[in-house]
Structure 1
């Protein structure tokens, strides 16, 4: 096993820069997931670790050794791709042992390693079959087995589950996580699926536009996102963002664009008048009888265990998740309340998170001259 260090790593294709000075420390045995939207640079970064892409600038260390100029075969890594890339004319056992055969490993040792990997992955009944005789999940396990037999110091996974159906993806991500817990091999996993990232990772690295936006434990990123991008990317349905302005006074608050008010416990004096985005996750909104923000139900989506409701309020649509069976219908007037301790505030200009002492304390339907003045000034 080995730690991985990326120091000021850049990647350019001619004059086009795609990775901009990335710094990441991956501990020995850690399971790190690189996540972000398509085109954010996560797969390019993984391919640089694998040696399939050159590094324009910066240093890459595996096990303390700089490997920038080493060929992939000399980096002691194993990679599992999105496509299974199995040889159709070979059996499962032959596919799994092929890399060892190319390295001149004795047949008895190849058989031992293949049997070991097959036992770990429950592939023993399928060793004599060919890929066309296997399901998608079984083929992916064969691809993983081919990586295991190499006994590498690092596993790299490039969106390995994207070709599987939803049920099989859930099963396979549990198997990959269990495999890591058993083998304790340093693992870097790339996905655009934030659910995969949240459920599998020891640590998530969120990327956008070739930059690292935030890195940390899954629940840390979910509960305390550094910026609007991370807050909106992690979570399904996504966090709601409501624009407003902070107002000082005896009752400090957030004046929303429709004139309603959210009382805020406190905030630093220098933030008075600042345009902000109030963030609240769908599971942290409640329907109340009174003393809440008025909303109109637009869409009701029952999923079985919970109900997703989209409602129009404060001049925009917000989504809430109800754990009980919801007795609401499109067009119905309701009132919404927010869980104070789980509210988030972001600078509307740069998207950065504002101080943690900000928290919504009360919601009502007040309209005020102060808000109209702020709204006029913003316009």
Structure 2
């Protein structure tokens, strides 16, 4: 296990800079997940930590060593890819032990490490099989086991679950989290799936266009997003954003474009033009005091109902009880849980204190 420290990290392809002065400290034994939309630079940063991409500027340190000029092998890291990268002609046991064989580790030591990794990942009954005889989840466990046998200082995961179906992704999330708790290892994990990040990470790093937007625990990012980008990226379904004007005249409210009002239970602390952010889970039906809206989409999920409405020309998503009694085109009256409302500056998109 080891710390990972990134200072002023830059990456350019030709004259195009894609990673811009990234600073990040990852503690020994910490599970840190890099998230962001496709093309934000998260996999590029991971590959620079691994030594698979040259560093244009700044430093990467693993433990007490600056590793910029070291080969991947010299960094004592282990990387798990989304395509598993298994050797099809080898058995599970041979795949697990191959990196140790080429490092000339004694055979009895290889067997001990392979057996230990197989036991941790419930692969013991599968050691004589080949990858073609395994399910997707079993192949991913073999890829993880191949990393474990190397006793690396840092585990690097590059979207390892993206090829799996939804049910299997859920199972593997729990398995990787359990593995981290058992080994106490330092893990840097890349995904575009914010649900993976929320359920697995000690801390999340949100990236946009090669820059860090915010770093924090899952709860910190969910409850105190720095800006609209983070607020909209973290949480499912995504946060709603409504343009309007805050007014305390006649009671606190948000005045929308059509002059309709969204009543708020307490003043926001400031007045004027804002963008109000509200999560779909924090909207309720309130026939007496709610703001009228028109139902445009109904999606029952069993546990609840996802409903889209038109409110003053803006689309708003709501998560409502499973027994939703309205029809498409119906008028519905909605209230916002004011204690969960966020306010953002319309120009900078930064969260207002």
Match of 2:80 in 1: 80
Deviation at residue 254 of structure 1 after TM alignment: 2.6
Deviations 1:265-286 (A, max 9, x none): 3355xx543x211000000000
Structure 1 residue ranges, 4+ long, deviating more than 3 angstroms after superposition:
247-253, 262-268
Deviation at residue 315 of structure 1 after TM alignment: 1.3
What are the within-5 Å matches in structure 2 for residues 229-268 of structure 1? 229-247=229-247, 251-263=251-263, 265-267=266-268
Residue 267 of structure 2: SS of its match in structure 1? coil
Q: Is the 8 A contact 1:31 1:202 kept in 2?
A: yes
Deviation at residue 329 of structure 1 after TM alignment: 1.1
Deviation at residue 289 of structure 1 after TM alignment: 1.4
Which region of structure 1 is more displaced relative to structure 2, 235-244 or 259-268? 259-268
Deviation at residue 246 of structure 1 after TM alignment: 2.8
Match of 1:148 in 2: 148
Q: Is the 8 A contact 2:301 2:322 kept in 1?
A: no
Match of 1:196 in 2: 196
Match of 1:165 in 2: 165
State whether structure 2 residue 99 is matched by structure 1 residue 99.
Answer: yes
Q: Is the 8 A contact 1:202 1:217 kept in 2?
A: yes
Residue 150 of structure 1: SS of its match in structure 2? coil
Deviation at residue 317 of structure 1 after TM alignment: 1.1
CA gap of 1:252–1:336, structure 2 versus 1, over 3 A, is closer
Residue 171 of structure 1: SS of its match in structure 2? helix
Match of 1:37 in 2: 37
Residue 329 of structure 1: SS of its match in structure 2? coil
Structure 2: segments with no counterpart, 5+ residues: none
Structure 1: segments with no counterpart, 5+ residues: 356-379
Match of 1:340 in 2: 338
Q: Give the TM-score normalised by structure 2.
A: 0.97
Q: Is the 8 A contact 1:283 1:320 kept in 2?
A: yes
**Superposed CA RMSD:** 1.2
Deviation at residue 5 of structure 1 after TM alignment: 0.6
Which region of structure 1 is more displaced relative to structure 2, 346-355 or 318-327? 318-327
Q: Is the 8 A contact 1:242 1:314 kept in 2?
A: no
Residue 328 of structure 1: SS of its match in structure 2? coil
Q: 1:326 aligns with which of 324, 327, 339?
A: 324
Match of 1:216 in 2: 216
Deviations 1:294-337 (A, max 9, x none): 01111110011111011111211111001332112101111000
Equivalences, count = 352
Q: 2:298 aligns with which of 297, 300, 308?
A: 300
Once residues 267 and 241 of structure 1 are traced to their aligned partners in structure 2, the CA distance between those partners, rounded to angstroms, is 16
Deviations 1:334-369 (A, max 9, x none): 1000001100100111110001xxxxxxxxxxxxxx
Q: Give the TM-score normalised by structure 1.
A: 0.91
Q: Is the 8 A contact 2:263 2:335 kept in 1?
A: no
Once residues 277 and 93 of structure 2 are traced to their aligned partners in structure 1, the CA distance between those partners, rounded to angstroms, is 52
Match of 1:366 in 2: none
Deviations 1:31-53 (A, max 9, x none): 00000000000000000000001
Deviation at residue 263 of structure 1 after TM alignment: 4.8
Q: Is the 8 A contact 2:262 2:290 kept in 1?
A: no
CA gap of 1:250–1:316, structure 2 versus 1, over 3 A, is closer
Once residues 215 and 207 of structure 1 are traced to their aligned partners in structure 2, the CA distance between those partners, rounded to angstroms, is 9
